[in-house]
Structure 1
Amino acid sequence: MDIPSTSSYDQPASMPHSISRISPSRNDQRKTDATISTLNLIICRLIILFSTISLANGRAHCIKTESGLHIAGSNYRRIKHLSHAQCASECRDDDSCLAYEWIEPKSLCFLKSRSLSGDIENKEGSHVGFCYDDEDEVRDRFRDHVIMGPILSKAEDIDGEHCKKFCSRTPEASFYR
């Protein structure tokens, strides 16, 4: 029994009512599925790669001081044409680096060795940062280094870990001792 069409568009009688003419063939569908699977695999591998790279550098951190400070001496590497962030990254990723100094007008970066011996002085256009690593015996704290600055808060009779937590609750604090 034929049911009359209620739409204003009727298909021509010569065109068979077959879904296979409109949809892709099974081979095309398999190729599409294989391509999607391959893309998913590539994306998963990239995510794993980038998370591994990020974890490798995830322990080391740098903190910058206010502008206009300079550390005399202890330079072991000079890199030209870097931004402040790139200079900090160079120090963070180098196990021998405890501090960096970035000279703004020249885009010049100096990496400072673990044995900082110079005083912190005022110098126009200079930025100093310190990098530490909680997993490194030397870079985890600034042992044998005196870093002067304003005292924001004091806590008596607490160990190093509690001092670190106490300091982390003070947003303006950069160092603890």
Structure 2
Amino acid sequence: MVSFRQQLQHSTASLHKALEQTALLKIMAAGTPTRQQYRQYLSAQLALIAPLEAQLRLWESADWSALRLVKSEWLLADLKALGCDEPLLAADVPSISSPAQALGVQYVLEGSTLGLMLLKKRLNPEDHDLAQASRFISVYGQKTPNNWQVFVERLDRIAVESRPEAENAACAVFSAYLKQFSTVDIL
């Protein structure tokens, strides 16, 4: 029997792959961003994550929110460390109107924490600017793999009849990410 996580992984695979092929994510994956490109990456992430986290707080417990819905704060701190006072980019994100949709959105946000761990390892540790602005890509530190497993257990408990709604939400978030990262003009 296929787990719901595996089902989501399969249904979002083409969007995930397309996202990884965007110019900015290729630069980030290579570990060679300039300071300006790193700022663009963080700004694009913030434009998506801030409105999604604001919506997710309406569907999650205070405890979950305090632990998991803090990525926009990390992004703001990193951008400030880079001297970025630019206005928040606007991103078109899907609306969240049910617990199932909230879970689908979090599949994308929580799943990205594993990729962020890899990204941090690839970035030049001797680059002082990047080191000072790495809170977001540090995610949960050593707790990241365990936090992902806790989330996956929660994900796999979703009612079968709610899965299509969660799946559609995950695809919508990946589509929003793809749109946002495809429109970034690399500096």
Q: Please report the TM-score for the alignment, with normalisation by the length of structure 1.
A: 0.21
Would you tell me which structure has more helix in proportion to its own residues? 2
Larger-gyration structure (1/2): 1
Would you tell me which structure has more strand in proportion to its own residues? 1
Q: Please report the TM-score for the alignment, with normalisation by the length of structure 2.
A: 0.20
